[in-house]
Structure formats: structure tokens, C-alpha cells
Amino acid sequence: MRRPIYALLLLLLLIGCTRGSFALEKVSLYPTVVVTHQTSGTSYINEGVALVILGAPFQEDKQYQISLTSPSGDFVWEKMVKPFKAGDLLYVGASDLLLPPAVSLEKGRWHVELFLPDGKKHSEELTFSPSLESAMTKASLWPPLEWEKVEEQWRVKGYEGLWHYSLYSAGNRLLFSKETSKAFSVNPEVKAESAYIVALHFDEATGVYTIVRTYFVI
């Protein structure tokens, strides 16, 4: 069974190569649907993409610039990232490459660029044909997550199915992380510091990641 790597929040892999001592070994795009529930009560849905790159070799203490361009060239994402480890391998990537609301992902040849710390550039093109109809239909099924006090703990009921939940502080510090298909609880200190929760689900049938972000008033 394919499993998402939650440390990067989504991954990947497609074979490619470049000349020189550094090589893009694997590059992959995954379609994502992101539902955001704000403290004001406003909710919105974005289509997006997760990009992950395996290179040989990445240096764990260095920063790399990644760039992703849609087939039409209308959308370009650029980010500075640091490698993360999954197993014994180092990857770079981003899971929050989002389109504006009501804009759909394009099908066709997507262009990926990786800039090394020494300024050298490596490129890859890959065909990406996302299908998000089913995931977008289900997006309305994921309401904001809410706290429930149970004895001395605070519980989040969660969604149906297997999800990975992460709680973050206002400064984006990870406070709690758990993969479960059931409700989960945290202590009052974690609840008090939690500014938002990110729920991540991978649909084996469609290959689509769903991310639901709920922001709390603290």
C-alpha cells in the first residue's frame, strides 16, 4: 500500500537525471485539495500541488531554491527550502503550492527547477494530469475541527477514515502530531498554545491529498 510521508506533508517520485556530480534522481507532483476554516467563520477551498525532489546528494545544512511552473506559464511558485529526511534519503519539496480559489489545476507538461547553493540550476519537465472532481465534491464534508473537554484533557473528534493531525502554535511550532482514525486528546497546555490544526488524508483510489486547516481563537 502506498503511504504518504507526513514529515514533508506529501510525496512523490518520478525518474529523471541531469549531467554533473549532482543529479535529480526523482521528481514527483501530487494533486492536493486544501480546505481552510478561518476564525472569522469563513471557509474556502483551493486546488494545489505538492512537489518533492530526491537529489544526489543534498546537503542537510544547506538551503535550496525550487521553482514550479504550470503548463500555460500563468502560475509560477518559488520557494527556499531545506532538505528533510525520510528513511535514509534526503528530499526537498513543498506541499503548499496553491492556486487561487475557483482556479483548477492544469493538465500538461509542468516545469520544475532546482537551484543549488552554488548557483547551478537543474531542470525537469513532467506530465501531470490531475483529476480532482471527486476530492472537490468531498471537500464540503470536512467541517472545522472543534475542541471538546473530557475530564482533564481536550479532545478533537477528527474525521472519518485515517488522517494525520498536527497542532501548531501561532509561531508555526509543531506542538503535537498523530496519525489516527479515532478521536485524540491533548493536555491543557498544548490546547492553550494551539493556534491551528492541520489534518492530512491520502486517498488511495484517486491519488489525491486532502488538507484541512482549522484556525482557533486563542
Cα 147 to Cα 149: distance, rounded to the nearest angstrom: 7
- How confident is the model at residue 5, as a pLDDT? 42
Average pLDDT over residues 154-162: 95
Q: Percent of the chain beyond pLDDT 90?
A: 60
Backbone angles phi, psi at 192, to 5 degrees: -65, -30
Give the single-character DSSP code of 190.
H
Residue-averaged pLDDT of the chain: 86
Report, in this order, helix, strand and coil percent for the chain, each rounded to 5.
5, 50, 40
Identify the weakest region by mean pLDDT among 5-14, 18-27, 162-171.
Answer: 5-14
CA 21 to chain centroid, in Å, comes to 29
Q: Is residue 30 packed enough to be buried (19+ CB in 10 Å), middle (13-18) or exposed (0-12)?
A: buried
Structural domains in the chain?
Answer: 23-130 (2.60.40), 135-215 (2.60.40)
User: How confident is the model at residue 174, as a pLDDT?
Assistant: 94
More confident of the two residues 55 and 103: 103
Q: Given a cut of 90, is residue 25 above it in pLDDT?
A: no
Least confident piece of the model among 16-25, 110-119, 132-141:
16-25
CB within 8 A of 172, min separation 6: which ones?
none
Query: Cell digits for 135?
Result: 476530492
pLDDT digit string (tens) for 37-76? 999 999 999 999 999 988 767 888 889 999 999 999 999 9
Q: What are phi and psi of 140, to 5 degrees?
A: -70, -10
Q: How far is CA 30 from CA 7, 49, 149, 169, in A?
A: 15, 6, 36, 27
- Give this prediction's pTM: 0.80
**Is a pLDDT exceeding 70 seen at residue 19?**
no
pLDDT band at 23 (very low <50, low <70, confident <90, very high): low
